[in-house]
Structure 1
Amino acid sequence: MIDLRLVGEILLGLVAGLASGLLGIGGGQILIPGMVFLFGYDQKVAQGVSLAFIVPTALAGALTHWRKGNVAPRVALAIIPGALVGGFVGAILAQGLDSTTLRRLFGLFLLYMSLRMIAPSFWTRLWHRLRRI
């Protein structure tokens, strides 16, 4: 018998991987809500799976972009040490928060980033006005 949950999880991984390669995102923006709301996983489990998911998808995407000349090695090398430390510290901090708080923080992050992408001129004007105060 076909395990429909497994099929759904495979499809979720496919969609998140496609978005990762196409949009340059880690995939967590799709994977985490999908795991939590479609399959009922705990926020911490979804975040852990998302972080594990990033390794192969990032390597595949980075190699493709490297071959096309779209990777700036100096910038990548400058960012990586801070990303490693930040990822380690962030994972430790996440363990101290309950799943509901993490889910809300993640939702606020997605909302903020969505608004920044959809209406960048509004946010730029607001930023400049606030800086003058």
Structure 2
Amino acid sequence: MKFSNMSVLQPVKKSLSTLGQKYFSSSSCLGADQHFRLVVVGGGSGGCATAAKFSRKLGTGKVAVIDPATMHYYQPMWTLVGGGLKTLEQSGKSMESVLPSSATWIKEKVTGFQPEENYVTTESGDKISYDFLVVAAGLQLR
């Protein structure tokens, strides 16, 4: 069965976000046309800290974190891993366990930024609009 208009999903998305439950964007239908007060791109230490601070202030369902990773690695611990004092496994936790429960985790990659129109585009083609944006995508070592 095909829907030409995905507005049928709007009540479902709204009820999930207002209950404070996390849901995972496993298809483009779930994540389509969402709006948040704050969108944080990146779920590393900076992104998690920002999302935690603002989701406490803004409330449940108002903050989204967009990151495709299932594991969060605390990179400052890697110096201890290199020194043999810790293991790589000890530096990682599941992303779900480190993100604030009142924030919405969108498990996708951001492929485009449209700051003039206040939205980002995800790999599946969804548009996530925002009032405020924080880009905390981290570094790429070369």
TM-score of the superposed pair, with normalisation by structure 2: 0.23
User: Which has the larger helix fraction?
Assistant: 1
Higher relative contact order (CA 8 A, sep 6+): 2
User: Which has the larger strand fraction?
Assistant: 2
TM-score of the superposed pair, with normalisation by structure 1: 0.24
